[in-house]
Amino acid sequence: MSNEILIVDDEDRIRRLLKMYLERESFEIHEASNGQEAYELAMENNYACILLD
């Protein structure tokens, strides 16, 4: 199972907060600020989880 997580949120501060917490738990974090970026990343990677609002 992948340890990669994609965080999708248009608010940078929310992405930073989630990233900081999840990296402490040894996850590799990718970020997207909109749906198009998220879609492109999701097609290229096998994420364990995608968090979005």
What secondary structure letter does DSSP report for 50? E
| Both structure tokens of 51 | 């968090």
Residue showing tokens 């929310």: 14
State the pTM of this model.
0.92
Q: Which domain holds residue 27?
A: 4-52
∠ CA 34-14-9, rounded to 5° = 15
Residue type, 26: S
Q: What CATH number did the domain enclosing 43 receive?
A: 3.40.50.2300
Burial of 52 from C-beta contacts in 10 A (0-12 / 13-18 / 19+): exposed
How many domains would you assign to the chain? 1
Question: What confidence tens digit (pLDDT) does each residue in 1-51 have?
Answer: 689 999 999 999 999 999 999 999 999 999 999 999 999 999 999 999 999
